[in-house]
Amino acid sequence: MPSTIDYLENLVSHAGDVAETKVELWKLRAAGKISETVSSLISIIAIAILIIAALTILSIGIAFWIGSEMGNISYGFFIVGGFYAVVGILVYIFRGDWIKNPVSNLIIDKIIK
């Protein structure tokens, strides 16, 4: 007949197994959250690269078009460059609201889910 000490040893052994299993489960959950977050960020970066390429081509076309309408191609590039300078200043001023907060919220949402 098993003694109380045997029961306690068995209980401690099972408690250790449960603790190890919980640690492994936390590791797997963390890995899943990290991989989901990284894959979301990579897809956003890929889309951003495609949008930047499209905007570059469109900007060159618009600059040539404006320049040809004004009689000097360089005027079109100066106007398009000025437009992007104004947009860049606005993005810099509102970078917290437009970039930092949405990206932070996206990462936090992916981790919390």
pLDDT in tens, the chain (113 residues): 567 777 777 777 788 888 888 989 998 888 888 888 888 889 989 999 999 999 999 999 999 999 999 999 999 999 999 999 999 999 999 988 888 888 888 878 877 77
pLDDT value of position 1? 57
Query: What is the residue type of 29?
Result: R
Amino acid present at 41: L
Q: What's residue 42's pLDDT?
A: 92
Global confidence as pTM: 0.64
